[in-house]
Chains A and B, each alone.
Chain A
């Protein structure tokens, strides 16, 4: 086997040195009846060439050749080959969690830079080294708010990503948290009056996503005031982090839970991505996840270590702030390299292109009779439109044109049938947008 570095004679030599006759002897502590008598029934062994061929064949069974207008929490953005070049350096790829700081300074400094970038983007004071994804970051943010306030009710925007809400429900079920969903207005934003009416002394957090699942940008100031007025915290989830290149950061939030997939990470059928929790300095000791901090060695040289570990499971066990151990470090590194490449100007320009393309797509769609924008709030690169017939039917027609149509909003919001969530990024060309709009027009013209 090509991954195993021992010859048969070396194995014999090592067995002899140990003082056993056969490898079986080393497994004698497994009771005999439970030792496998025959080889596992697994496909392979495959050569490297065959491994590649297998996966190429599977890749060919997917959506190659299609243009997609899907977003809804996973976004296709440009990625520089430089990012992947750095990511594939063995020193980053094949190293462990940087517990041994003296030989992990590369990872530790990169995490410190990641934390800094995340603070700059979110307008928060501290950010952690990553969570699994946006959904678990949001959940951990709520659990953090519960610890900070000692309260048990959570007001969650119905416009928070449906899968984020599902994950929150799974985690909350056994912690005594009571989740209440708050609806949205005709603008597509969280209903502030409903929030105010539901806020009482027992609410730990108001949770809102911006831009929200419908693409609408939330007005965070009044929400923060309302939450703080009754002693609750404002948790802001960000699923499309690129929006922060051009949209005001959620600085009013007490905790920000972000999905950083848009920064250099491929859609990859849903993962691996990188979640982030960012917050105010005064809340840092209730924060989940790893943190890198700056310090100095005995000669006064600057260096970085994992710090405030007394919050974590390997020290605090059942009293830890979270059970998270392995996080998404390499994905966070991808985001760090990607954002460094983009820089201040590149980030702004990329965000502006998304804004312009989404505006163009909406204007073109609105030229089709019966197609109307659903919500009036400003949006970034995603918006909801109403079609005169079922989105599923339209998408079926678009598939024939090799177009993966927009997300079917009615599939998770029964009250929003015939609504499509259209996503356009800088990767979508004008020609593709025009072909999509023509496809929608054509689909709507088909006899039912």
Chain B
């Protein structure tokens, strides 16, 4: 087995307990400058009832212990910095380090959202330039940078749609969502006060126009469409879909999670989309950081502009920028302060580095996906054969015959030095292998991935048990998830830890 694994070799990583288990009273890792005003007696100032003497159980360790603890923990993670991270629909691309540098600059990281706007012109200029760039990329008319992530962008978009319909006299009742959609879409529609109606994909994984025509009526507020779909296939009939909706007064919402297939090649605004969100932590390279932070700007056509969340960034006659909070028709605020500013800075740094060359990134992303598809077709089942954009979705149908499923293959990929692809999604492909290499992979890394996948397919036929019990090279094996959910242990406690500390 080892000779077949070209990318990975085993290495030792060190154990570390919980930081609480290392604690010993009297140690500390941070010193404050001496207090330069008279000390006060907290009990006297706060009153005895409010005073707390200390936080029970808080760790007491030294600086070197903190650094080693978290450094050791970090070595237990896989990361883009270590290699390909082909998680479909997540767009795990290179996170340029200059973006980290500029987001931390004094004068940006130090700024308070309530400082006078005349002292914030630098921040506001950054926001304004990012707005302009994103409008150019999407072909839209207006934008808000406030939402903190894709799901909050979706909510903002649906609230805009609701406000638009309300102004026309009827908020409407339903939002249509294809069965291939991400789970956030239906969850969001409910918060916006809409019923969800699912629409079935046709045999090619596309929206069925005939059915859609029947489903769209004056009760439908919008259709939420991911394009390219979660199958990685471009929805070719999107102009027709928009027309069917518009004829009944409904709007087209586009989930922009897969914008990495389109930037610089086509513009949603010209395809008939009315509102869309972008995931800056996907397409625009801001680091995912183990789950966030992200940013989910929402771009829209002119008709929805009056309902933008406050504050709205405006350019005044003298060329200065200001945040306008007084907008009568606004949907209100979706988040405190001015969005995830630090994330927005990184996204602009990314766009400036590429300029119009952002198209080349899109082309390379699509090239990589198709290259992998070409080499793995036949080895793995391809349930939908329409041309792939930035990702390709196989199924485990061929390997299932030997009792090996997509999760097993994914776990075995870990032994080959790769992060797994997406397994649980899209729901319309049972046993999906959703592979998105992104433009950040060179040819050699793609070739190694292809080799690994072919090798696993052989193993699945010759030695399925090896695949079913993978991974074999990690610090820990597959974990008991059922037990974790049945008797949740969600925090460390001093008493319970003693028996467990032994491991």
Q: Does A14 contact B (CB under 8 A)?
A: yes
**Contact residues on A (Cβ < 8 Å of other chain), bracket:** 35 or more
Contact among B79, B355, B414 with A43 in the assembled complex (CB-CB below 8 Å):
B355
The reply on A393 being an interface residue by CB < 8 A is no
Instruction: Name the interface residues of B415-474: CB closer than 8 Å to any CB of A.
Output: 419-420, 424-425, 439-443, 446, 471, 474
A325 to B334, CA, bound (A): 16
Q: Which residues of A contact B424 (CB under 8 A)?
A: 314
* Bitwise interface map of A from 85 to 114 toward B, beta carbon under 8 Å scored 1, else 0: 110111111111110111111110111110
Count how many chain B residues have C-beta atoms less than 8 Å from C-beta atoms of the other chain: 199
A6 near B364 with CB under 8 A, answer yes
CA distance A91 to B74 in the complex (A): 5
Across chains A and B, the number of contacting residue pairs, with CB separation under 8 Å, is 685
Give the distance in Å from the alpha carbon of A84 to the alpha carbon of B358 in the complex: 30
Contacts of A293 in B (CB 8 A): 484-485, 488-490
Q: Which of the segments B208-216, B244-252, B288-296, B398-406 contacts the partner chain?
A: B288-296
Majority secondary structure of chain B interface residues (helix, strand, loop or mixed): loop
Complex CA gap A173/B281 in Å reads: 29
Q: Is B384 an interface residue (CB 8 A)?
A: no
A409 CA to B267 CA in the complex, in Å?
Answer: 44
CA distance A298 to B470 in the complex (A): 12
- Chain B residues lying within 8 Å of A11, measured Cβ to Cβ, are 364, 367
CA distance A312 to B187 in the complex (A): 9
Assuming A66-B119, A107-B77, A320-B183, is B358 touching A40 (CB within 8 A)? yes
**Partner of A113 from B79, B101, B492 at Cβ < 8 Å:** B492
CA gap between A301 and B367 in the complex, in Å: 42
- B18 contacts the other chain (Cβ, under 8 Å)? yes
Within 8 A of A (CB), among B60-102: 60-61, 63, 66-67, 69-71, 73-82, 85, 87, 90, 92, 94-96, 98, 100-102
Docked pose: A428 CA to B484 CA in angstroms: 46
A23 with B148: in contact, given A115-B490, A333-B290 (CB under 8 Å)? no
From A95, A308, A355, contact of B42 by CB (8 A): A355
CA distance A96 to B93 in the complex (A): 11
- Asked whether any CB of chain A lies closer than 8 Å to the CB of B343, the reply is yes
Known interface pairs A167-B336, A313-B151, A350-B32; A105-B77 also in contact (CB < 8 Å): yes
Interface string of A1-38 (1 = CB under 8 A from B): 11111100011011101111001001111110011100
In the complex, chain A residues whose CB is within 8 Å of the CB of B32: 78, 346, 349-350, 353, 426
Q: Say whether A400 faces chain B, with CB atoms less than 8 Å apart.
A: no
Interfacial chain B residues near A48, Cβ < 8 Å = 98, 353
Task: Let me know if B193 and A175 touch, CB within 8 A.
Answer: yes
Contacting residue for B113 out of A74, A297, A326, A345, CB 8 A: A74
Q: How far is the CB of A118 from chain B (nearest CB, A)?
A: 8
A312 to B82, CA, bound (A): 29
Known: A82-B29, A163-B337, A340-B66. 4 other contacts (CB 8 A): A40-B136, A86-B70, A105-B76, A293-B484
